[in-house]
């Protein structure tokens, strides 16, 4: 038996809820048509599929965008008093569905319900000439849903009901590869409940805990626990606010989102310098970290392959752990409410989350909060 087989076999056997990876993220937005242009023109996602009135969907319209392994779905209601429109009225644009790719949807759903998950919708099968997809939904924090998607037998552009549709202008990808992690903000005192949900229901394991001593500034504090699924491809940090002198960024999120929800989506790149340069050129706004951050950066993180001048110019942050280092940067919120934002991350060995940058980052967020009058 090879070393690899011995090393992976026990983990596979212990995985009580096998998930292949993230299938897609679905946003409910106010104007999917315009959001789709934003993601194509700035982040360089390609339009691949569409569903709307022209294809027989009378009440909602959805655009499906892809870049390497990342798939986003942008959905809006086209009629009044629809659940999608009401979601947007309450929360603003935000992530409704974190879809998980499973091999057997009905089995996964039954297991989740048996272990205490609340149903969002029961398994159903849809099919067209390209094959079939089976889906079911379970509820997670806030009004967010995990759809369990079984698509082994499907060959079409996204799923039955969607037609293939290409971008109508040249789209230049920025080098985004896959979703590294998705962070949820939950109400004060609810973090452990949701960590337990992921452990008990979905068989995730607790990777790391940050308390308010790790994550605090003069004004705000938060606590965070990171859970990960059996094969390690899905990582969900869960944040809750901790008592601070002023309103924490988590409380600001909960106020504007009207409850718990997805705070940020970290997407991985193999070349953060190129990715961030392209995003900046196309008008994506990033949090600003002051010059002083770079003065003793190399003393803090040691030798790195990138040129310090490039990192400083693009305002990219660096952190190191036992296994290597990582480079990261955070966008400002990507919709009008200060809720969902993106992290761009390049891992050079490090498997952690940039703890060494928390303070600089939170101070950057506080400067933004101050401008919004919500600190």
- Contacts to Fe ion by CB under 5 A: 266, 343
- The 8-class DSSP code of residue 32 comes to H
> Which structure tokens are listed for 63?
């655009």
Residue matched to tokens 């999608």: 84
Beta carbon of residue 8, minimum distance to Fe ion (angstroms, whole number)? 26
Judged by beta carbon, residue 179 or residue 297, the one nearer Fe ion is 179
Nearer to Fe ion, 142 or 354 (CB): 354
Torsion sign, CA atoms 198, 201, 206, 212 = positive
Residue number, 136 or 266, with CB nearest to Fe ion: 266
Instruction: Give the burial string for 221-255 (b: 16+ CB within 10 Å, else e).
Output: bbbbbbbbbbeebbbbbbbbbbebeebbbbbbbbe
Work out whether strand 70-77 and strand 60-67 pair parallel, antiparallel, or are unpaired. Answer: antiparallel
Say if CB 322 and CB 333 are below 8 A apart.
no
Which residue, 266 or 273, is less far from Fe ion as judged by CB? 266
Nearer to Fe ion, 84 or 266 (CB): 266
Give Cα 357 to chain centroid, integer Å.
19
When the beta carbons of 40 and 228 are compared against Fe ion, the nearer one is 228
Rounded to whole angstroms, how far apart are CA atoms 76 and 62? 7
Smallest separation, CB 112 to Fe ion (Å): 26
Output the smallest distance, CB 307 to Fe ion, in A: 24
Q: How far apart are CA 81 and CA 109, in angstroms?
A: 29
């Amino acid at each position: 038996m090879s070393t690899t087989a011995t090393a992976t076999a026990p983990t596979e056997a212990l995985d009580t809820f096998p998930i292949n990876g993230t299938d897609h993220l679905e946003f409910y937005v106010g104007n999917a048509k315009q959001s789709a242009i934003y993601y194509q023109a700035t982040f360089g996602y390609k339009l691949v599929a569409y569903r709307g009135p022209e294809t027989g969907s009378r009440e909602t319209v959805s655009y499906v965008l892809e870049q390497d392994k990342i798939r986003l779905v942008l959905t809006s209601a086209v009629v009044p008093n629809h659940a999608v429109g009401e979601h947007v009225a309450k929360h603003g644009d935000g992530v409704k569905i974190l879809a998980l790719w499973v091999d057997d949807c009905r089995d996964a759903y039954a297991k989740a319900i048996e272990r205490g998950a609340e149903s969002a919708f029961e398994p159903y099968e849809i099919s067209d000439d390209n094959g079939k997809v089976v889906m079911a939904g379970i509820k997670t924090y806030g009004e967010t849903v995990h759809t369990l998607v079984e698509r082994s037998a499907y060959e079409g552009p996204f799923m039955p009901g969607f037609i293939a549709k290409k971008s109508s202008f040249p789209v230049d990808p920025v080098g985004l590869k896959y979703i590294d992690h998705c962070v949820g903000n939950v109400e004060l005192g609810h973090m452990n409940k949701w960590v337990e949900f992921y452990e008990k229901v979905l068989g995730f394991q607790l990777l790391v805990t940050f308390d308010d001593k790790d994550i605090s500034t003069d004004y705000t504090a938060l606590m965070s626990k990171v859970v990960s699924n059996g094969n390690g491809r899905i990582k969900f940090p869960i944040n809750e606010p901790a008592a601070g002198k002023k309103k924490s960024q988590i409380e600001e999120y909960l106020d504007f989102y009207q409850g718990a929800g997805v705070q940020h989506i970290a997407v991985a790149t193999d070349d953060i310098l190129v990715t961030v340069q392209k995003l900046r050129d196309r008008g994506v706004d990033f949090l600003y970290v002051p010059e002083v951050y770079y003065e003793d950066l190399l003393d803090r993180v040691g030798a790195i392959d990138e040129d310090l001048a490039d990192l400083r110019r693009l305002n990219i942050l660096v952190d190191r752990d036992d296994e290597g280092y990582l480079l990261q940067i955070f966008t400002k919120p990507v919709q009008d409410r200060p809720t969902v934002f993106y992290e761009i991350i390049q891992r050079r060995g490090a498997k952690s989350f940039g703890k060494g940058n928390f303070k600089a980052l939170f101070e950057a967020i506080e400067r933004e909060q101050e401008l919004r009058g919500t600190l």
